[in-house]
Amino acid sequence: MSDQQLHPTASAGRPRWWIAGSIVVLIAVAAAGAMIGPAGPVWWRVPLAVLERVPFLGADGLGISSGVTDREWSIVWDIRMPRVVLAGIVGAMLSLGGASYQGVFRNPLVDPYLLGAAAGGGLGATLVITTVGRSGLDWPIDPVPLVAFVFALGTVAVTYAVGASFGGLRTSGTLVLAGVAMVSLMTAIQTFVLQRNSDVVREVYNWILGRLSTATWADVLLVSPYVLVSAGVLLLHRRHLDVLRVGDDEATALGVPVARVRLVVVVAATLGTAAVVAVSGLIGFVGLVVPHMVRLMAGSSYRVVIPLAVTIGASFLILADIPGRTLSSPAEVPIGVVTAFIGAPFFIVLLRTRQVSR
């Protein structure tokens, strides 16, 4: 047995194949998400219905007739598809944010909510729901995501300012501790507010558990710009995340502007995370575990982890959303529950097989 067989390396696999394969999986999962649902047309008619609606080619050119009624099509186009797309965006962003945070803080137990994006967003949503009620007023837009977004960003900004003023940005430890303090503070305020308004506890609780059920194309349009900017910046910094793995001092000596890279990555990841928290609530597990799944499969280099976090995170959440809406139909299982239910056993199996093969 040669030396290399004794010490297999995951990253020896070709990153390009991993990325290509994960894109194929993403397309397959998205197609399944559009085809499966409690109401609507029979699943195999959905692709036909899509083809039929391709201009000049479908119904007119090839004469495809899917037999899907307009009402059924509306279920596919207006309900399922935005939900699938939003699940993909949210899953991609959370796992991308998690991977970036883990890189920039050199800590594998970090999720994108570390610096208070979730706690701040939760408090913002709670305040809106308790004061004006979810649909009490005729606002031109739903105030819950807007306020949640602002609170999420604001909390992270305060965390960053506090951490930077005490510890400087050469070390990340103070920043993490500032995050712990801010999260406790926000959660305490939220609990206090909730206790005084126990009539809306259920509504707030639903928000906290996370949901994609009310997804519309408007939600997709709302988050897309933030997520696109965030993902673009993070993808461009994936090489820097690899250098940061050897620590701040060595990265500095290698010519990396550590404090600036950390700030840029945190701002980008927070912006995207806050946007998806605002529309989907707090979906746990994805941001923490999907990056580790990726590492266990394809190796730990951020040049591979960052793009794969996008595709696999998206696939994971789309997949997790399918049982959520079909199992106990018409009631819905909260998506955050499903992600943990599917993800935890899968992760344990993956962890175990990797240990054995090492």
Partner 1 sequence: MSSIEFRQVQVRLGRRQVVNDFSMTVSSGSWLGIIGPNGAGKSSLLKAAAGVVAHSGQVLVDGAPLDLRHRSRRAALVSYVPQDPILPDDMTGSEYVMLGRTMHVGYFGMPSRNDRAMVDGVIERLGLTSFARRRLGSLSGGERQRLVIARALATEAPILLLDEPTSALDIGHQQQALELVARLRDEHGLTVVSAMHDLTLAGMYSDRLVLLHEGSMVAHGTVVEVLSAETLAEFYGVRVTVHQESDGTVVVVPRRDRL
* Residue 173 in the binding site for partner 1 (CB under 8 A): no
232 touches partner 1 by CB under 8 A: no
Cβ–Cβ under 8 Å, residues 52 and 183: no
Measure the CA angle with vertex 327, ends 284 and 89; round to 5°. Answer: 40
* Residue number with CB closer to partner 1 (12 or 109): 12
Q: Between 41 and 299, whose beta carbon lies closer to partner 1?
A: 299
Residue placing its CB nearer to partner 1 in the complex, 13 or 154 = 13
Q: Judged by CB, which is closer to partner 1: 139, or 166?
A: 166
- Alpha carbons 341 and 14: distance in angstroms, whole number: 31
Q: Which stretch binds partner 1 (CB under 8 A): 65-73, 150-158, 182-190, 240-248?
A: 240-248
* Residue 247 interacting with partner 1 (CB under 8 A): yes
Query: Angle, to 10 degrees, between the axis of helix 217-236 and the axis of helix 258-280?
Result: 170
Contact 95, 312 (CB under 8 A): yes
**295 touching partner 1, by CB under 8 A:** yes
The distance of closest approach from Cβ of residue 9 to partner 1 in the complex, given in angstroms and rounded to an integer, is 5
Q: Cβ closer to partner 1: 6 or 141?
A: 6
Q: What is the DSSP letter of 6?
A: H
CA distances (Å), origin 194, targets 50, 66, 127, 303:
45, 50, 9, 43
Footprint (CB under 8 A) of partner 1, residues 6-65: 7, 9-12
253 is written with which tokens?
A: 């000596």
- Name the segment binding partner 1 (CB under 8 A); options: 2-10, 188-196, 315-323, 331-339: 2-10
Q: Does 242 interact with partner 1 (rule: CB under 8 A)?
A: yes
Footprint (CB under 8 A) of partner 1, residues 100-159 = none
State which of residues 55, 63, 255, 330 lies at the interface with partner 1 (CB under 8 A): 255
**Binding of residue 166 to partner 1 (CB under 8 A):** no
Choose, by CB under 8 A, the member of 24, 27, 28, 253 that binds partner 1: 253
Q: Cα(233)–Cα(268) distance, rounded to whole angstroms?
A: 7
* Amino acid in position 241: L
Asked if 352 is part of the footprint of partner 1 (rule: CB under 8 A), the reply reads no
Tell me how far, at minimum, the Cβ of 22 lies from partner 1, in Å.
19
Q: What is the 3-state secondary structure (H, E, C) of 128-159?
A: HHHHCCCCCCCCCCCHHHHHHHHHHHHHHHHH
For 274, the token pair is 């806050």
Q: What is the rounded CA–CA span in Å between residue 170 and residue 257? A: 10
Could you tell me which stretch among 25-33, 109-117, 135-143, 252-260 binds partner 1 (CB under 8 A)? 252-260
218 is written with which tokens? Answer: 């408007």
Q: Name which position in 24, 180, 246, 344 contacts partner 1 (CB under 8 A).
A: 246
Q: Out of 301, 337, 340, 341, point to the residue binding partner 1 (CB under 8 A).
A: 301
Query: Number of C-alpha atoms within 13 angstroms, CB side, residue 86?
Result: 32
Q: How far is CA 53 from CA 32, 37, 43, 72, 198, in A?
A: 19, 20, 17, 14, 48
Residues found near partner 1 in the complex (CB under 8 A): 3-4, 7, 9-12, 236, 239, 242-243, 245-247, 249-250, 252-257, 295, 299-301, 303
